[in-house]
Every structure is written in structure tokens, then in C-alpha cells.
Amino acid sequence: MKIDLKNLTIQKASDHMKRGDFGALDLAEQYVKVIADNNAGINCYLEMFDDIGDQAKAAQKMIDDGTATLLTGIPIAVKDNILIKGRKAGAASKILEGFVSPYDATVISKLKKEGVVFLGRTNMDEFAMGASTENSAYGPTRNPCDESRVPGGSSGGSAAAVAMDGALAALGSDTGGSVRQPASFCGVVGLKPTYGSVSRFGLIAMGSSLDQIGSMGKTVEDVKILYDAMRGYDTKDSSTLPDYDPYSLRGKAEGLTIGVPWHFMRNGGIDPDVLENFESSIKLLESIGYKTKEISLPNIKYSLAIYYILMPAESSSNLARFDGVKYGLMEEGSDLLQTYINSRTVGFGPEPRRRIMLGNYILSAGYYDAYYNKANALRALINKDFDDAFREVDALVTPTTPSPAFKIGDKTGDPLSMYLEDIFTVPANLTGVPAISVPSGKVTREGKELPLGLEIMARRKEEGVLFKIGKDFQSASLR
């Protein structure tokens, strides 16, 4: 049968393969063809793996002998900062050029057991530092909806791969919105789970108290399936939570109440079409039985400032290990110090350098208390605001982004303008709550339809609430 990649979901693909309508190898080859035809223009893949056929044949064996799971034979893309044993992993940075991982990330180990087919590694902002995938050492990724525009970042390659039908689903990492924002720009679904629900072992660290591995797909159900396969306590990651049930009664109940922080939307800086789309999304949720309530998050206005203190501080510490000695790029100097300086100068791009310098300044003597400690104190206040809000409502909603996808090059000379792209997404990382971006409609710019997204947040450990609301919203949007 002809494989309709555009309307394929994980469940549909699994059913077709189990019925014998097509095989795992047939499916993988369809995606490989799409990538071969389109990747030169989009630049979402940095590398296609050379054993895709072997992976697909192993998956087919599982299907034939009855040991297949829902994910067996499903072709997915992997962000270039998630380690796969025997594969290159470079976080789209020259400083890790040629590095081959000696082990699997925990999420990769789990998905290998499911029989997933890994297609390749996707482009990203260098060390996940960016909101546009323009900061990659290997060139920018382009948005499949309009190739003159960015796909978002830092997981822009993964989002673009799904949007161009170059993968059925994809893995990304989310430190301040790096799964949700590109999902919104590319018109796909993106999930950032509760902090600690998915192991970070084998993820190249950026901000350790903020990073979380997430998933992208065309439907809420697809990202849920990946999340279920990856979640769980891991002895290799001390920040993982004890196993919990994310599908509480609240995640199945009717008549849930959704909180809307309208005061946060009235501060300006939001594209009028985005605000209009958000208002329409609220009305759609109300039309399908959800109650909405205006709520106050008094300190949320400080989120972005707090994030851009804590994240560079953690990043500068995490990136200290990349010195040109242990692995990756080495630019030799006259002595060890000069080798460090040469390797880091050549190896890091402008954005990592900027954040390393900011982070070192924030953590330096005399400024640690003034900046880092004060930011942590405000982070605790924002956590309290969210806890208070969740006593009144079951979920919170905002637009995912303040604007649709912008043109490549528009914001590269203005870092502050680029950082403002994270305004709606960083609170979920600061508080550790789960959040999902679901396509909410489109706006027209220069004759091209650009996707928008609705961000839904829930209490920690209540991903089930996100999936319920997200599925209901997505179904209603498609009617």
C-alpha cells in the first residue's frame, strides 16, 4: 500500500506494520527518501545513520515473532545532544567535532528495547543555546513552512524533521522552551515533562536544574507514547523522581478548570495576531466544556530575568569540561593554558562564548550574592505563585510564543530580542512543571501560513492533565 506519511501517527504505523500492510523497512525507506529530497534545503539533519536498514530489519523480526511494542519500527530523529553508543554527538559545536559516544543515554537504551528505528541526529543551536537554530556551527535550519524563516530553537532540527515528514517523531531537550517553541513555529506538538520524570543521563548538559528531554510529534498521543516509554526513575541520574502515576483521576475527569494569567498578556510585546489566536483558543476550550478563570502570578514578570541569570551560570560551569584535552577538538598551544585558550576560542561559537562570560561574571566574587542568590530567591517565589494558582485551577494556558516564526537573520544582531522569544516558556522550566505546546492555528505572512501554538501547563507529575486537555483541544481544532 502507499504510505501516507503526512497523516501517519505512531498508532496507525504500528497497526499497519502488524497487519503486514507494509514492513518496517518500507516505512524507514520512505522517510529516508523524504530526507534525501529535502534536507539540503531545510538542513534539519546533521547526519543520517548508516544502519537504518539493519535497525528496520531487527524491528521487523520483533513484529514477525510477536514481541513488538507500539514503538517497534517507528522512525524517529534524535537531537545532536543526546548520546547514542558508537555514534557522533556534537551538540552542533566544533569543540566536540569527531566525538563518538561510548554509551547510550538512558532514553536511548529504553527506546532501543522498544525497537525504535533511529534515523539520524538533528541540527540545533550550539549546546542548546538559542531560540532559532541559527547558532549551529553547521549552518541554520530552515522552517519547512517557510524556508526564509527560522524553525525555532534550540531543538529546531527535530521540529523541522517532523514538520517536513522526515521523521514520525523526534527527541529534543528543553531548558527554557527548546522543545515547545520550535514545535509551535513548525506546527507540531512538543512536550516538556515534569523535571526529573525523564532521565537526563546521556544528555549533554546546559543548565542542569532546567534541562529536560522531551518529545515531538504530530499529535498529542504521539508525544504521550514516547513519554511513557522514556519516563521513570534512573539510578544514573540523581535528579530523577521516584516512579509515579502521571495519569491521576484529574487527568480523566470532566469539567477541569483552566487558569489564564491575562495580566501577563497585557504587558505588551505580543503580536496582535498571536493574542487574537490565543483568545480564540480560550473560547474553543470553553466550547468543549472547560471552565476558565483569570488567575494571578505576581512574580512571573521576573521569569525571563531570573532564567538569564541562572542558565548562564549553570552553563558556564557545565561547559568548563570542554577544554580540548579529553575529547573533541584540540588546538595546541605553547603550554597547557594556551591549549585550553586556543581550543575554546576556536571551538565555541559566539553564543556559547557570550553565555560563558555572563555565567562566570554572575558567579564571580562580589556578584554571586547580588545576582545568583537573588535569582534563586525569586525562583522560589515563582514556584510559590504556581503552587497557589494550582490550588484554584487544574491547568494554566498561555501562547507558546509571542510571535510567529521570524525571518532568518532578523534577531541575530539583537540578543535581547532573541531572548524575549522565551517569555512564555521559561516559567515551566524554573518551576519544574510539565508543559506542552499544541498547534492552535495559523497566521499569514507574505503569502505563507505560519503555525502558532497554545502552551498548557499542569501540576508537577500530572502529565495526564496535559494530554487530556491537549487531545481535546487538538480534536476540536481539527473539526
Phi and psi torsions of 265, nearest 5°: -85, -15
Q: Which three cell numbers stand for residue 10?
A: 505512531
112 a catalytic residue: no
* Angle (CA) 160 106 237, round 5°: 115
Question: What are the Cα distances from residue 10, in Å, to 60, 249, 470?
Answer: 15, 26, 17
Q: Which residues contact 252 (CB under 8 A, 6 or more apart)?
A: 464, 468
Of 14, 93, 154, 281, catalytic: 154
- By the 8 A CB rule, do 240 and 107 touch? no
Of 14, 79, 215, 468, catalytic: 79
Run of H or E including 156 = helix 156-163
DSSP secondary structure of 272-330: HHHHHHHHHHHHHHHHTT-EEEE---TTGGGHHHHHHHHHHHHHHHHGGG-SSSSSS--
**In whole angstroms, what is the distance from residue 251 CA to residue 246 CA?**
8
178 a catalytic residue: yes
What is the DSSP code (8-state) at residue 85?
T
* Cβ count within 10 A of residue 331: 16
Of 136, 158, 173, 178, catalytic: 178
Task: Give the 3-state secondary structure of residue 80.
Answer: coil
Residues serving a catalytic function are 79, 154, 178
